[in-house]
């Protein structure tokens, strides 16, 4: 084996190792991404059925129901066009209110109920999560 062939072999082995490392990094990055969907997109089956994602919109007025255990809360998230029922077990943020913006992270069950593992609410009078604001705007106009 000549010196040139040895250098070429080392270069190809280095490129192969780099490609494998890049593939592993991209795979890890992809598995940690949590996408945002509006209720309209969820009901159009654009949301993943087997993975966690974020659901955003407004808490439908009159939809908040607390169960007897004191920790389980059921409410409906709407983008003013479609509605998705949500169940959450845990403490809600202090700013969680009917008619206000909310982003919930969780997974969709087969019955169409979104089981939230985390609920985020807006933090001041004028703020709405950007994804939720865009989803509401899209639902009103019907355009992305």
Positions at the binding site: 123, 127
Helix (H) or strand (E) holding 110: none
As a whole number of angstroms, the distance between CA 74 and CA 130 comes to 24
Residues 44-51: contacts with CB within 8 Å, 24+ apart? 47/108, 49/108, 50/107, 51/107
Q: Report whether 103 contacts 131 (CB < 8 A).
A: yes
Alpha helices in 33-129 (DSSP H): 39-43
- Binding site, annotated residues for heme: 123, 127
As a whole number of angstroms, the distance between CA 23 and CA 79 comes to 37
Secondary structure (3-state) at 21: helix
């Amino acid at each position: 084996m000549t010196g040139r062939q040895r250098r070429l072999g080392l270069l190809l082995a280095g490129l192969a190792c780099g490609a494998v490392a890049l593939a592993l990094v991209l795979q890890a990055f992809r598995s940690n991404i949590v996408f945002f969907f509006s209720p309209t997109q969820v009901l159009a089956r654009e949301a993943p059925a087997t993975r966690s994602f974020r659901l955003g919109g407004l808490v439908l007025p009159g939809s908040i129901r607390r169960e007897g255990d004191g920790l389980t809360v059921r409410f409906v998230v709407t983008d003013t066009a479609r509605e998705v029922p949500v169940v959450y077990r845990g403490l809600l943020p202090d700013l969680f209110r009917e008619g206000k913006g909310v982003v919930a992270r969780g997974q969709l069950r087969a019955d169409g109920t979104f089981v939230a593992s985390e609920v985020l609410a807006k933090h001041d009078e004028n703020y709405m999560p950007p994804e939720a604001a865009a989803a509401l705007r899209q639902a009103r106009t019907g355009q992305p």
